[in-house]
Amino acid sequence: MTTDTMKVLGGSPYQTDVDESMANVLMVPIGFIEPAADNPRREVGDVKELAESIRAQGILQPLVVCYQDPRATGGAQYKLVIGHRRFAAAQAAGLTRVPVLVRRFSEQERIEAMMVENLQRSDLAPIEEASAFKTLSDMGLSQRAIAERIGRSQAHISRRLALLDLPVEAVEALDTGRITIEDAVALTKLSDMPKRQAAALKSAQVNRWQSIPEAVAAQLEDHRRAEARGKALQQLKAAGVKVVEEGPQYGGKPRWLTGQEQRVWGYTVELEVSAHAGEPCHRAHIDQEGDIRYLCSDPSRHTAKGASDLKVPKEASSSDPAAAKARKEQREQAELAKRRVEFLSQQLNGPVVIEDLFARAVPAMLGAVWAQVLKKACVLLGTTVATDQETNRQTLAAHARHHPAETLLAVAVAQSEEWIGPWPSAREKTRDYFIWLQGRGYELSPPELQLAGLDEKPATPLEVNNLPADDPLAPIADWDDDVQEQEEVAG
* Closest of 134, 107, 111 to residue 38, by C-alpha: 111
DSSP 150-182: HT--HHHHHHHHHGGGS-HHHHHHHHTTSS-HH
Angle, CA 60 vertex, CA 56 and CA 61 arms, to 5°: 150
Looking at the chain, the whole-number percentage of residues with pLDDT higher than 70 is: 81
Residue 279, pLDDT score: 95
Residue 489, pLDDT score: 45
Read off the pLDDT of each residue in 252-275 and give the average, rounded to a whole number.
78
Residue 363, pLDDT score: 84
Please tell me which of 128-132, 315-319, 396-400 the model is most confident about, judged by mean pLDDT: 396-400
Q: Is 48 helix (H, G, I), strand (E, B) or coil?
A: helix
- Sheet containing strand 63-67, edge to edge, reads 24-29, 97-103, 63-67, 78-82, 33-34
Q: Would the pLDDT of 262 be above 60?
A: no
pLDDT in tens, 392-405: 888 998 888 888 88
Residue 447, pLDDT score: 86
Read off the pLDDT of each residue in 327-343 and give the average, rounded to a whole number.
84
**CA 140 – CA 150 distance, rounded (Å):** 16
Residue 301, pLDDT score: 92
226 or 38, greater pLDDT = 226
pLDDT in tens, 223-233: 998 999 999 99
Q: Would the pLDDT of 14 be above 50?
A: no
Residue 482, pLDDT score: 45
Across the strands, what pairs with 78? 33, 67
Read off the pLDDT of each residue in 15-22 and give the average, rounded to a whole number.
40
**CA 82 – CA 165 distance, rounded (Å):** 28
Output phi, psi for 79, to 5 deg: -105, 130
What residues does each domain of the chain span?
3-119, 315-350, 354-464
* Closest of 116, 117, 89, 108 to residue 30, by C-alpha: 89
Output phi, psi for 287, to 5 deg: -85, -175
**CA 260 – CA 473 distance, rounded (Å):** 63
pLDDT in tens, 466-477: 555 555 554 544
* Closest of 109, 15, 137, 183 to residue 147, by C-alpha: 137
pLDDT in tens, 420-461: 877 777 788 888 888 888 888 888 888 888 888 888 888 777
397 or 124, greater pLDDT = 397
Is the separation of the CB atoms in 378 and 385 below 8 Å? yes
Residue 231, pLDDT score: 95
**Would residue 356 be called left, alpha or beta, if left means φ above 0 and alpha means ψ between -120 and 50 degrees?**
alpha
**CA 406 – CA 425 distance, rounded (Å):** 28
**CA 266 – CA 264 distance, rounded (Å):** 7
**CA 414 – CA 400 distance, rounded (Å):** 15
Residue 2, pLDDT score: 34
169 or 320, greater pLDDT = 169
Residue 365, pLDDT score: 84
pLDDT in tens, 298-316: 999 999 899 999 998 876 4
490 or 201, greater pLDDT = 201
**CA 28 – CA 59 distance, rounded (Å):** 13
Which whole-number Å values give the CA distances from 140 to 61, 65, 145, 359, 407, in the listed order?
31, 24, 10, 68, 59
Q: Would the pLDDT of 353 be above 80?
A: no
Looking at the chain, the whole-number percentage of residues with pLDDT higher than 90 is: 12
Residue 479, pLDDT score: 44
Q: Is 43 helix (H, G, I), strand (E, B) or coil?
A: coil
Which whole-number Å values give the CA distances from 217 to 199, 212, 369, 376, 393, in the listed order?
12, 8, 21, 18, 20
Q: What is the CA radius of gyration of the chain?
A: 37
DSSP 205-228: HH-TTS-HHHHHHHHHHHHHHHHH
**CA 71 – CA 15 distance, rounded (Å):** 27
Is the separation of the CB atoms in 133 and 96 below 8 Å? no
Residue 318, pLDDT score: 54
Residue 181, pLDDT score: 85
Residue 307, pLDDT score: 93
Q: Would the pLDDT of 417 be above 70?
A: yes
3 pLDDT tier (thresholds 50, 70, 90):
very low
* Closest of 153, 91, 164, 168 to residue 127, by C-alpha: 164
Read off the pLDDT of each residue in 370-378 and give the average, rounded to a whole number.
87
Output phi, psi for 452, to 5 deg: -90, 0
Residue 20, pLDDT score: 42
8 pLDDT tier (thresholds 50, 70, 90):
very low
Read off the pLDDT of each residue in 140-154 and give the average, rounded to a whole number.
82
Q: What is the DSSP letter of 14?
A: G
Q: Is 244 helix (H, G, I), strand (E, B) or coil?
A: strand
**CA 100 – CA 283 distance, rounded (Å):** 81
472 or 45, greater pLDDT = 45
Read off the pLDDT of each residue in 265-281 and give the average, rounded to a whole number.
86
Which letter, b or e, does each residue of 346-373 get, where b requires 16 or more Cβ atoms within 10 Å of its Cβ?
eeeeeeeeeeeebeebbeebbeebeebb
Read off the pLDDT of each residue in 4-32 and give the average, rounded to a whole number.
51
Look at domain 3-119 and name its CATH class. alpha beta
